[in-house]
Amino acid sequence: MISPRKEQYFSQKKIRAEGFTRKKIDDTFCLFSNEEDALMFFDYINVRHPNIRFTMERDINNKLSFLDILLDNSHPSIVTSVYRKKTFTGLLTNYFSFAPLNNKLGLVRTLLDRVYKINNSWAGFHLYVKMLNFLLRTEKTILLLGASTRLFAGIFLRN
C-alpha cells in the first residue's frame, strides 16, 4: 500500500506548465496475500485520477503471463519461463538480409541471454534452447549457413 506520507505528497503536488514532467507507469506486478486486498488496492488506484484506468489480470490454471515471462504457480515454488503469445510467428532476421553479421550474431546472443535470465529451471532452459536451435535452423538464419551448433554454443558460453 502507499504510505500516508507519500499519498499526502502526491495529492498536494501541483504541476506547473513550465516545469511539466510526466512519469509513465506501464506494467506493474503486485503480489497480495489475498484477493480482497488486491481488489481494495485496485479500486484505490483507479479513483486517483479520472483519466487513468488500470486493469488487473488474474491467473488462469495457476499461470499468469507478465511481459515476456510466464509464471507457473502449480509447483511448490513459482516456475518462470519465456512466454510467447499465440500470435508468435517465429519470424527473425534472415541470414541473407542486408544486415551486419554482428547484428545477426547479436540476435542469437540476445535470445539466449533472455532465455537464461527468464527461466529459473534447467528443464525449462534446456527445452527453450532446443526450440531456439530448431527455430534458427528452419528460418535460414545464422545456424543454417556455415554457423554450426558449435557457434550456437560458443555465443552462449561467451556470456
Residues 6+ apart with CB under 8 A from 49: none
Reported as a single tens digit per residue, the pLDDT across 17-46 is 344 445 556 778 887 888 888 888 888 888
Q: What are the φ and ψ backbone dihedral angles of 31, each rounded to 5 degrees?
A: -110, 135
| DSSP designation for 148 | -
Per-residue pLDDT at 51 exceeds 70:
yes
What pLDDT is attached to residue 90? 78
Q: Where are the alpha helices (DSSP H) in the chain?
A: 4-12, 35-46, 101-118, 122-138, 149-158
Residue count of the chain:
159
pLDDT number for residue 143? 45
Q: Where are the domains of the chain?
A: 1-56, 61-159
Tell me what pLDDT residue 18 has: 42
Supply 126's cell numbers: 534446456
